[in-house]
Structure 1
């Protein structure tokens, strides 16, 4: 009996084990099915608990997300690529986020809703009206389209996300007068931003426009001659692969097919760029194929009315001859939006000047065909509102006057203010004759003799004057040749660049995560730098030379070419790509792309026309251009960039090589921290680390790093203090102060103890400095370079002290200054063994 009972117990135990395993398997299977479903019904909503929809082919995914991992907890419903989760292509409740993880995405009353389950309120809906039917299905398709269907999969489509995009255009959409793309507010906020991309409904042909609020920001058309600004592959995408509506100026040998667009997207960025990207599987990254505006002159009417823009000129804008800035103060400060105006209005003493190699907005009248320039000029002079005319190659559709059999040109008239003028136009441009008063030219023309030809039959004296000097003309021609050469390369574009990516697949992040930085092929870089010519060399960095390159459209880029002779260069190269790809701040230099081919490893940065900070503050002439207000703003800008690195970015980053030559200045003299080759990421709340290999630049390294290899956020604070004192003094810390045998820090400390702080000031600041701000900067600089890291302020407290009128500033202690005796480095307050740190080379010019 006992044996029989024991057997029964064993059988029951095994049976229960099997049942338990079946339950566990069923639960797991259900979980797997639920987490990978591609539909929502009224009975099966989607909750904010890591549950997502995945399209049938596993291409797109829908769920709740927080933008870029921001810490404020805002939650949105969005669609992203399954293979690139950080690339959001659509957002439902973009202007009304959830503030806690209580969201539900569901069907209710015949509409799709984003609900707050805790309060029951709807944050977003399809707004189709109330339906009594409870049989709706929501499905995520492999195209990225989210559809609300009446009934099952083959039912009537009630609503589609493709008809209501956010900032991204996907293959299968079709842009028309009712469909627009609206940018995010910024990279962390998907709310409706300032920029809108749409069809330009004022144009007869297919043209597109980007609006900045209510102001045109960029146009694909509105040029004379009309430029083919959008490549065929993009036009075909926007018109849903319909070759019949493709660009009329198309040079494509065959129509594009839908399969050509797998992994493609068009996006309007928060800062106004319209970009076309393509996903390269082997590289696991997005390649930027095309973008606009390509340079500052591509921005619509960049120099205002009657102002001409030249992308190859650092000053960019100038007024037409006979015109002056409408607001000289703003114009001189770099704000050209007000444009120019004519001093004297319409007059009988008007004449014309010829402006060559330019593009302009469309004329108000494309009148009639004629080869008689005098007749065209008269047509303009008859009307006071006429601002300019041009005799261009005739179009077949032009109206004709007189005998047209031999007429090859057409007279075009501009009645409104001249807008969107560009010099150095690569496709031939036009000769625009601008109407001015002779006396307004201020001696730029010669008066002709009094006698006139009676056969001309006009009472007006017309003088045609070329205002383009020979040297400028040659520069423009060279720019055109370079641009045309680059355009030839661009014709190869998509497939050739993809082939380069496939051949260069050796480079990827160590953690396998995709790098959202465009790849550039080596041949296009050679063309942009004219084969790395010496004329384009900007300087020599620690790991190789830096060159200026010009891409199609005049886009200027700085390229750091990694030296093959550098033993540690590859790691620093990868470091910069991975780091800067994740960093976006106005005071950090932006990485535009990278290139890997064989031994060639190249980083592409935004070009800084004003070079580096040290080229200004240490030069007797250039320093005169930096008044106190500009220097103070540069100091604050550097501090804000450091704050982002140390605290506000997704990573906690220590730069380790902050110095004056690594602070670049853009066209507005805004400072940008550069050169992240030596930067280090520290995890979580970690604020310090150590290294067995000390690298950096003598004069900017903190003593604990130089002597012990310990680095922290306070190491960057020390370097910032040195840079701050250099900015206000105009003296290098790496050189002894004349006759003092002291470093800059030692000299500053001595002046502090003697109550002579004004003696440190750069003489060029006399007359522009504010004494309270100067003394504040002096004290903060000394606080930053104190020997004990714990005594140095944090970057947030530095910004508070500098930017606040009431913040208390502690009394600084003796800094860790050094003396130079021969070639040795000696600490003034440390008895530890000397360590000679590796010195990194510094670029003396802008990148």
Structure 2
């Protein structure tokens, strides 16, 4: 029998709905708040009222997968950009089992999976927190709220104006609007910016910005908390700018921001305020020691730089570390001195040069009585037109010879300079820079004798003795020719020992290549010949064909390409511009090109491990071209013939930057690929704009061939999807059976995880849509196991290539 609800039932229902609505609103209102009973964990995040900022667990892009931090970032910016990090020196490994919560004593604390305190607003470290009683009155007295200014505030729950702690008092590397850089005169506490250690590690780095302790009206940049290297000068209240930055004055009058300087009895500080709160503005000191003021451009989806200090990279103290030189116009700006090498090559590749360089060979001090008597005395390498390093010491000397002797007599002396005054350096060399105006000094770097060849004078004596002996044996004519040939070759090589690009004469290149008689091969841009320099260095000389640029533009391009140095890129040593002739001189690769090792009849000399490392090396080289150079360099011709191997089988990408020399007409590149199931991305065929993703496609096709050690379609075989290796690989990936098409004898030596990783990467690289292909930087991370990737779909374009392989050549008109 049905019943009708009475009045008491309706009242109970109404009370439930009211309570439920109240609780729901409280939960929604608390999206920006942490309490003892509502901690933060896993993928949860706080969002400020106004949605401008978010707080949660954060991992820097490209950093270790196990390093997580509590961070504040912009909530509406598509590129996750951290502006504050709590535990920058103590990352956690498992955010799902960690908590950001309120402790019993009212502090904001971060607990790891072991319930140990790894960070606290009260600076409690490495302590084990006792069990928190959520009903404790003390634990409920404070709350942490994320404000829409980006400030995380810990305050009394019953009185929000009673602030106990705030993130704006504990800056990291970023200054936001309304953040203060200065100091509290009563407590002596200061607020300053400290850089990250590198792009992937937010722990405190070497560089910082703070108010000058000796002069409150200016700020100062410090290296290692001790050595000042830049200041903007004193603040002028009348102009609103710093005396050392006059260009700041017109910027202030019509700027989106206002710069403030306050100095009273309680505190002194600098602060920036924004006139329009919808603008996302930040000032950051980066790992290279420069501060960058940037604004988010929503239409371009990127941060736009509008202010940089100091402007010169080389003005940053120890920018390039020890025993290096800084060249403002070079890219990268840092290079090791002759006789030295990078202490941490991986750091240099990522753009962090702080660890500097170390000697190749230890010095042999002549005052060392234990040294063998036959040990040759240390020598000196002269560098001209440089700004001398810091920390020199003057000693009495009447001549450059006396100055040199004074350095040799002291085992701690690493260099000397003489210009009427003798300067010695007893410490590691730091801040050695190229002089931009040509008014620099000369310095002599001390090296072990084995690092420097015998002088030319001694070589001439040997040549003279040989010529005299030949004349005595009545071979005067032959001896004279040889003598003249030797003398000409001595002048061929402009000094490339310091890493600078050399300019060759055409006659010199004819001489060292013996009239271009020994051809190493030919490629998309011309023929390559073997040459030998006077110091017995073997080089490869490429004769460019089809070049349309004038000499001035060609030299400008060469100066750019010549500054690109990476272990996986063939190094350009010099060039020649003679009439219409354009020639390039490269380092010679002893093991030739990759195709000879992959596709030769007796192939098999490359183990799986070596082939995998070649794939990783090629990816790193392309990632450097795409992402680390000043302008993105698209190769446009990635194939095994353009991958060279040195004596240790380290892969080096050749011919990078040459496509640009031919202008926007890439017909020469495409003609060289005619007749192959090759390496062309579909956008070449469709006429779409060419981006770095075209190189990614070509890399994917190359990777298929590295995996299989054969052309994607062998000559003489029927093509079609059934025999086309890329399609076969994609199908076997979906079926989970990659071993089916491998040689049974080689299965045991193959790392199956690496094989699956390589096959996935290859298939993702050749996706039809550019947006579906990974970047080369992402490919490196996947191949090295830092990032996992799913199974890709089979691209339609692979079927098109397979089915047309035996019927038509791939060609593209201009």
- The TM-score bracket by the shorter chain reads 0.3 to 0.5
TM-score, normalisation: structure 1? 0.45
Greater RCO, CA 8 A, separation 6+: 1
